[in-house]
Structure 1
Amino acid sequence: MEEIIGGKGEKTLPYAVKDYFEYDGTRISVAASEVFIEIENSQGKVVTLRRAIHDSVRDSKLIEVFSSSYLTNGEELGLAMPTYLHDAGGAKKQEGFHRFLETFLGLHLPQVPTTSGGEAKLYLQTVFAALAVEQKRGWTDYVANVPFYGIRDARTRVVEFLLGLSVFETNSKRNRLNSESVEIDSQWRQAHDELRRETASKGVSTEGVPNQPTPLFEPSQVFLKRHTGPTSVLLDEYIAQLRIEYSSLRSRSEKVEKALGVDALKEINAATEQLQELSVVHERTTSMLGMNRSSLREYETLLAETQEDLERNKTAAKLRDLGANHGVEIATGHCPTCHQHVEDTLLSESVTGPQMDLATNISYLESQSRMLQRQVVGLRETILESEARRTDLSSRLAAKHDFVNSMRGDISSGATESKAMVRRQVQIEVEVEGLQALPGLVRKILERLRALAARLAENQAARKLLPKSAYTQDDLDRISMFQKQFRANAGSFGYESAPISEVEISLDTLVPCLAQLELRAIRTDIKSDSSASDFVRLIWSYLLALQQTSSVPSLFGNHPGILLLDEPGQHSMAVDSQHALLQQLASQTSLQSIVAASFDEAEAVFIEATQGVKFQLIQWHGKLLRPLM
């Protein structure tokens, strides 16, 4: 857990255990050094851990686990189970030490949101920041020295975990639902684009398929339409028209003896006119498509600029409101020097007539943004329709061109069978075959969309079952108990900077607050100023209340039941406060407390602070590093 004090491995240790130390006036070099620690969990299982500090063979990242009581009972170490730490997978893989320790302690660390938008494990080192407090920086926050792993609001997440709040399960469900929602949206868009490509290539458009996923989607309400110039008809009706044309051509071809004479010329002229009309319509459609694409780019640029202006105006309004709340005269529209009215625009001298203030400008920009968004959506739909219509016109133009050329060939050759009619019949056969296959393909895509709509409906139903607020009633009961324990501790430790009864645990940050201000942030605008020693008393109260609340049988949280406090008597702490702390620690039957303290290096202070307290004293004279006797 050395990351809590700002480093990894042997670099966090003093030179005496890795380089040299002095004994009897002699400097002795360290050839090798290692550390053993024996731990026991709540199930009574004991293991001994061995880790190298300075060794030519073993790396400090290696921790060997022995299933024996080596230090207290002198048992043989036996076979070692090697584990590692401070490398990738150390908290997740079976061989990782932090994974082993998590399992050994009976903990189930949750997934929590990160600052990058993803999820990460609430690593054991972050939890231990609330269990082990070192002297230099540990008394600067309620949960100080949390190693940075990119966890969002890491301090709050640690407290939620130790108290056993269900917020992690709720957040995990919400995150899963959010992830599924994003997946549904992506798959819907992919299917929708595939449907557009398949239908547009054949001059067909769909009606009744929304661009975005909806639980109300119904495939039976989807219609396929084929563009025929400026209008469109249902696909089945269009196929029926093609079949009628095919039958007519077949009947005519049986009556043709020679493709000569006035009738043939009239037919060529009529087909040529149709070809010219199609060319004109195709050119207009292509031109309109280009104009719509250009307009779409312009509207998208205008929308981006409008949204940027809107954000700037909202920021300006927020700053003005904040200034007004704090009595800044310029924020209320008055010069702080001459107290005259000041316009909230930079163009007051150059613009005549009425001008919009910030609120009016924001309202106008919001309206403008909504209008531009509607324009962009409408243009995109228009472009899709135009692309399908142009595809249809291109195919019809090519078919008509081939028909005219074939008719001219028939006249010049004097054929007894019209090649133009045969060519047109072949074209109809190919087109009908392609169009008849389209509904089957469309049905498969619509079935995918229907399944996505059903998933979305289930997603939305599950989302409604989630708690409306961040915490459930059970969570609120735990926080209420935590607040009571904290207040009781602070009172017994002699906290006097603010009325204890008015101190509350914030539901936003889970730290003590007074008048919605974190207690350590209280300054001269509150009647009583928090002294440095009083803030340390709050940290005592806070860390101890976490364990007390977690050990309540009806609540039962995730606190491992251990506190390590290094020099808790900070900032000339009163002896009676230290005495109260030690009494509280000793009275908690489910808590193992390890306190390292110098008691101002005065025996009298030590005796007074420990009077009547049940504890096990570890003391020594001289230096710790010496030969074992």
Structure 2
Amino acid sequence: MLFSISKIILEVTTASAEFGTALDLRPGLNVVKAPNSFGKSTCLQAVLYGLGLERMLGPRVETPFGHALKEYIRETPNGTPFPVQASFVELELLNAKHERLAIHRDVKGDSDRRLVRAQITHSNGKTERRDFFLHDPGSAQREDGFHHFLASFIGWELPEVSTFDGREIPLYLAAIFPMLFVEQKRGWSAIQGPFPTFLKIQDIARRSMEFLLKLDVGERRRRRLEIQKNVAALESDWAAARQHLIGRLGNLARLRNIPASPPKEFSSAPAVEIEVHLEGEWITIQDAVIYTSILIDELETTGLQQTEEVAPLLEEELAAAQVEVSQLEASIDDLRTEMAVSREEINENRKRISSLKSDLARNLDAQKLEKFGSRLGRSVSDHTCPTCHQELDAELLPVAQVKGMAIDENIRFIRSQIELYEASAAATGEHAKSLQLVYDSVSGDLRDKLARIRQLGDALRRPSSSFERSSLEKLVRLQARLKRFGSMQSEADGLADRFAHIAQVVSDLRAQLAKLKGDDFTASDKNKIEYFQERLQARLSDFSFITFPTSQIRVSFEDFRPVAVISDEDGEVAVRELGFEMSGSDAIRMKWSYYLALLDVAVAFDTHHPCFIAFDEPDQQAIESKDVRTFLLETAKFGERAQVLVAATAEKNRWLRFRFGCGGSQRYELWRLHDRAQIL
């Protein structure tokens, strides 16, 4: 057993007396027997409350108790009510490591109900006291969260599961314990669970059963989610590093081999390739450094000259600069036009994609109606457009008499069109980004040329005997450009190893992910499920289940629910859900069988099932006493391999005795508490 409960204590303090009970439990079958309204369910609900699982019954349940622990209590059913001043629940648990956990939770008192006081006794005898919190964010993840500690104490590592709103959360204990605890009011309403839907866990029944059975398919899914989370984190790291580098490079440079997500090839050639827009074209930063260095060398070799000596050259350069300015202005106008066209094309693609998706939805609806037998569903086959309802023969193809596409073909065609336009929109978006970079670069060149024209004009207006300074200013600008290129290259080189590491790790993780594709059951999984099915059929026979022959009952591989597989006279196989097919008493027999068969699997195989189950009033739906007796006898046969708690009504089960003839069973009756019993 992963854990068992060795003690349950409830205490109520009033102005006149103290009431309560202390149950000493042991492995095997433990029966809490008393008349109606004497607190049997309260004792079992104390287990839920002590473990912090009351919200398993509903998101707004603060305590699962009635008035006896919160408002007033009577010594006898018709006795004087005593107002409750304080009350609490205490549990003592024992795990497989022989560690003891004593839990104290106030029901009514000075402490907040979200506080759990605990005393841990380690296997070496050392004890420690700790306080934990419940029902607040982090109670299943953080060190001081009680459910995080309780899962660790039991020996569970809770897997991550997906929610309907796209989050990843732990498989909370409240999603697992409905398969271990059958509560009286709602617990008998479903074969599995019922599970708390407010947790919004996708396929909650399947996830809980996969965990309890310790199926490889669940472990593979958990591992896949873990790898996907790691890949997403690394891709985010890659995107952040890429964005940082782009910001450092400025708007006059672009990356050539650093795409939005890590490529496979980069890890084998870890060099960041940068291109800059220089003199009207994109060149590598290495070529730009060489070109700029040559210009600097030429200027440094020439040295300073007087204005009259270089005036012809300055005038020639001024004229050329003015021509270049005109060309740059024309280029900017062309770029603006091309950018506007690209934006319009992107908008048109988006509109077209939206329209195609609407058409696809209509065609899918028409296909569905056709399957249901509707004439509207066959409108395309009858040469009528399902979108506008026009005759296809007369309007679209009057000469060739070609029939319109069947609805399935139309759906495939529309999907192919959506893919085509989405690819076109993505390509246009990339082209628009490239145009923006060129526009920024050309605008920068224009600013530089205008500044150079001003410098040349100033130089020509200076006295002829003065030194010409425009060359010096040009040299300073070129040196600043060269320095900027060097800084860009250094920044890229500094991030190259980081990009290479991310790309390598992501490549390895993607290879691992490829091996984990699919949700096929392993041979070990199938052995467990087949044994579960065999034991379920055997249990149903033991408990006189008659709605279907037990040989027709199967365990679904989808969500592990029991279903009936029936063959008709023609050999056709039909699968029937069992919900409304069963009588009320057979539904109870199915619940017994299902939970005990799950316990059979836990005893025979390596699972996460703790070998603990609690049944509150299993004699539901006026079920026959002989079947209840069989249920208890079969439960007692587990002996010390499992712990089963059962609350049974004394009036219904007068035959119930202290022993059933099978070892490991124990009966407890409730009494008034005279001596205050404390765990802590």
The alignment's TM-score, normalised by the length of structure 2, stands at 0.75
Q: Does 1:124 align with 2:183?
A: no
Q: 1:360 to 1:495 in 2, by over 3 A?
A: same
State how far apart, in whole Å, the 2-side matches of 1:298 and 1:251 are. Answer: 56
| Aligned residue number for residue 378 of structure 2 | 333
**Which of 189, 193, 214 is the matching residue for 1:144?**
193
Which one of 622, 627, 630 corresponds to residue 572 of structure 1? 622
Q: Which residue of 2 aligns with 1:526?
A: none
Contact preservation (8 Å) 2:73, 2:81:
yes
Aligned amino acid, residue 462 of structure 1: Q
Using a 3 Å threshold, how does the CA distance of structure 1 residues 192 and 556 change in structure 2: closer, same or farther? closer
Matched residue, 2:74: 21
Deviations 1:54-91 (A, max 9, x none): 44x455555555689xxxxxxxxx99766554455555
How far apart are 1:618 and its partner, in Å? 4.2
CA distance in structure 2 between the partners assigned to 1:24 and 1:492 by the alignment: 37
Query: Where in structure 2 are the equivalents of 1:243-322 lying within 5 Å?
Result: 243-249=293-299, 258-259=308-309, 265-303=315-353, 305-306=354-355, 308-309=357-358, 312-313=361-362, 315-316=364-365, 319-320=368-369
Letter of the aligned partner of 2:616 in structure 1?
D
Match of 1:585 among 622, 635, 639: 635
User: Of 287, 290, 308, which residue of structure 2 is paired with 1:237?
Assistant: 287
SS in structure 2 opposite 1:227?
Answer: strand
- Give the C-alpha shift of residue 177 in structure 1: 1.2
1:263-290 deviation digits (Å, cap 9, x = unpaired): 6544433332233223222332333234
Q: In 2, Cα distance between the equivalents of 1:584 and 1:150?
A: 36
Q: Secondary structure at the match of 1:541?
A: helix
Correspondence for 1:550: 602
- What is the one-letter code of the residue matched to 1:399? D
Distance 1:121 1:269, change over 3 A: closer
Cα offset for 1:453? 0.9
Q: Which amino acid aligns with 1:519?
A: E
Encode CA deviations 1:173-215: one digit per residue, 9 max, x unaligned: 22221112222222333333344444453x3334333333212
CA distance in 1, matches of 2:115, 2:326: 84
Q: Which of residues 455, 465, 475 in structure 2 aligns to 1:406?
A: 455
What SS class does the counterpart of residue 146 from structure 1 fall into? coil
1:519 to 568, 577, 581: 577
Is the alpha carbon distance of 1:300 and 1:14 closer, same or farther for their aligned partners in structure 2, counting shifts above 3 Å? same
Q: 1:155 and 1:261, CA in 2 relative to 1: closer, same or farther beyond 3 A? A: closer
Equivalent residues of 1:38, 1:49 under 8 A apart: yes
- The answer (yes or no) to whether the contact 1:177–1:463 under 8 Å persists in 2 is yes
> CA deviation digits over 1:506-544, x for unaligned, max 9?
2220111234846324x6xxxxx4323222222111100
Provide the residue aligned with 2:23 in structure 1: none
d(CA) in 1 for partners of 2:358 and 2:555? 40
Indicate how the Cα distance of structure 1 residues 412 and 592 shifts in structure 2: closer, same or farther if over 3 A, else same: closer
- CA deviation vs aligned residue, 1:12-33 (integer Å, no higher than 9, x gap): 2244873142649642313444
Tell whether the 8 Å contact from 1:403 to 1:421 is kept in structure 2 after alignment. Answer: no
| Residue identity (%) | 20
8 Å Cα contact 2:119/2:129 also seen in 1: yes
2:223 counterpart (155, 173, 190): 173
**Contact 2:318-2:453 within 8 A present in 1 as well:** yes
**What secondary structure, in the 3-state scheme, does the structure 1 residue paired with 2:200 have?**
coil
Aligned equivalents of 1:250, 1:114: Cα separation in 2: 68
CA distance in structure 1 between the partners assigned to 2:625 and 2:88 by the alignment? 37
**Separation (CA, whole Å) in 2 of partners of 1:156 and 1:87:** 26
Q: Does 1:189 align with 2:234?
A: no
Cα pair distance change 1:571/1:211, threshold 3 Å: same
Letter in 2 for 1:347: C
Contact 1:207 / 1:223 at 8 angstroms: preserved in 2?
yes
Query: Hey, what does 1:347 align to over in structure 2?
Result: 388
Task: Give yes or no for contact 2:160–2:222 (8 Å, CA) kept in 1.
Answer: yes
Distance 1:205 1:224 in 2: 6
* Contact kept? 1:65, 1:82, Cα under 8 Å: yes
Q: Relative contact order (C-alpha < 8 Å, sep 6+): which is higher?
A: 2
Moved more, 481-490 or 40-49: 40-49
Equivalent residues in 2 for 1:465-480 (5 A)?
465-466=515-516, 468-469=518-519, 471-480=521-530
Match of residue 260 from structure 2 = 211
Displacement of 1:141? 1.2
Please list, as runs of the form range in 1=range in 2, the aligned pairs for 1:478-517 lying within 5 A after superposition. Answer: 478-515=528-565, 517=575
Kindly provide the CA deviation profile for residues 322-373 of structure 1, in whole angstroms up to 9, marking residues without a partner as x: x62xx534365389xxxx9694625234772255553343233323222222
2:366–2:377 contact (8 Å) kept in structure 1:
no
Residue 453 and residue 24 in structure 1: after superposition, are their counterparts in 2 closer, same or farther (change >3 A)? closer
SS at match of 1:443: helix
- The alpha carbon displacement at 1:585 in A equals 1.0
Aligned alpha-carbon RMSD (Å): 3.9
CA separation in 2, counterparts of 1:486 and 1:384? 63
Q: How many residues align?
A: 595
Q: Deviations over 1:146-196 (max 9, x none)?
A: 334333333223322322334454333222211122222223333333444
How far 1:463 moved relative to its partner? 1.6
Change (3 A) 1:196 1:5: closer
**1:12 maps onto 2:62 in alignment:** no
Distance 1:155 1:413, change over 3 A: closer
Contact 2:102–2:119 (8 Å) recurs in 1: yes
Which residue of the other structure, out of 379, 382, 387, is the alignment partner of 2:436?
Answer: 387
1:536 aligns with 2:577: no
Partners in 2 of 1:211 and 1:627 — Cα distance? 70
Do residues 133 (structure 1) and 182 (structure 2) align?
A: yes
| Partner residue in 1 for 2:648 | 597
Measured after TM superposition, the shift of residue 443 of structure 1 is 2.1
Q: Displacement, 1:550?
A: 0.4
The alignment partner of 2:622 has SS state of coil
Letter in 2 for 1:208: N
Distance 1:270 1:96 in 2: 75
Q: Secondary structure at the match of 2:591?
A: helix
Aligned positions of 1:66-85 closer than 5 A: 85=134
Q: What SS class does the counterpart of residue 151 from structure 1 fall into? A: coil
**Aligned: 1:445 with 2:445:** no
CA distance in 1, matches of 2:298, 2:62: 90
SS of the aligned residue for 1:596 comes to strand
Query: Conserved in 1, the CA contact under 8 Å of 2:379 and 2:385?
Result: no
Alpha carbons of 1:219 and 1:626: their partners in 2 closer, same or farther (altered >3 Å)? closer
Find the aligned partners of 1:211 and 1:233 in 2 and give their Cα distance: 22
Which deviates more, 478-487 or 308-317?
308-317
Q: Structure 1 stretches of 5 or more lacking a match?
A: 69-77, 524-528
Is the contact between residue 485 and residue 548 of structure 1 (CA under 8 Å) also seen in structure 2? yes
- Cα distance in structure 2, aligned partners of 1:425 and 1:80: 75
Q: 3-state SS of the aligned residue for 1:152?
A: coil
Answering whether residue 504 of structure 2 is matched by residue 454 of structure 1, we say: yes
- The CA deviation at 1:219 is 4.4
Task: For 2:455, give the aligned amino acid.
Answer: S
Q: For 1:31 and 1:172, how far apart are their aligned partners in 2?
A: 47
